[in-house]
Amino acid sequence: MFGERIRQLRKEKGMTLRDLSNELEIPFTTLGNYERGDRQPNFETFKAIAEYFEVSIDYLVGRVDARNMDEYLLQTDYELLSKLLREADPKVRELAANLFNRLYSIVTNNEFSVPKIKELAPLSKILDSLFDIKKEAAYTRGGTQTKYEYASKYIKEKENIDKSLNELFEVLIESKEV
């Protein structure tokens, strides 16, 4: 599996075996042996190859299909959320599906261009603030925070949301001018 993964990653980068051997400072023949499965690298070489391609060693050896921790977390979070939604109340499922559909349309509307990233950043900040408000509400119900303290934090987060909405509006207006 290791050799297949190296070959796949190398080809994705449009590299020849010689290009990769030069980049990694590994003899051409040794790298060829790795790709064919005739030889296994030592740990330091595994690590160097993984770092070069920005993947985990687990991915290289075929233990997982997620290339890195971000992919792994996204995959496991999605699986957990799918399970929870299958067991959820139909109204909750409907609201969650609507949220996902909207997020999907934002992310896939076009390719990930600079304007798209500029659009996602304030949306991410808005969601962060909403989660912080919800987290603080739960913290307040636990009895360790007064309602006044919660209200103060709510106002701060509301100001952050307003600021992020303004950023989003500016990005959207800017994209219309292009």
State pLDDT tens for residues 87-141. Answer: 888 898 888 888 877 777 766 665 555 557 777 888 888 888 888 888 877 766 6
Residue in 69, 41, 49, 47 with CA at minimum distance from that of residue 8: 49
Phi/psi for 101 (5° steps) reads -60, -40
The CA-atom distances, in angstroms, between 94 and each of 37, 81, 88, 90, 101 are: 49, 14, 10, 6, 10
* Average pLDDT in the chain: 84
Inform me whether the pLDDT recorded for 30 exceeds 90: yes
Q: How many CB atoms lie within 10 A of CB 176?
A: 7
| pTM of the predicted structure, to 2 decimals | 0.52
Place of tokens 């070069």: 52
- Least confident segment among 13-22, 98-107, 163-172: 98-107
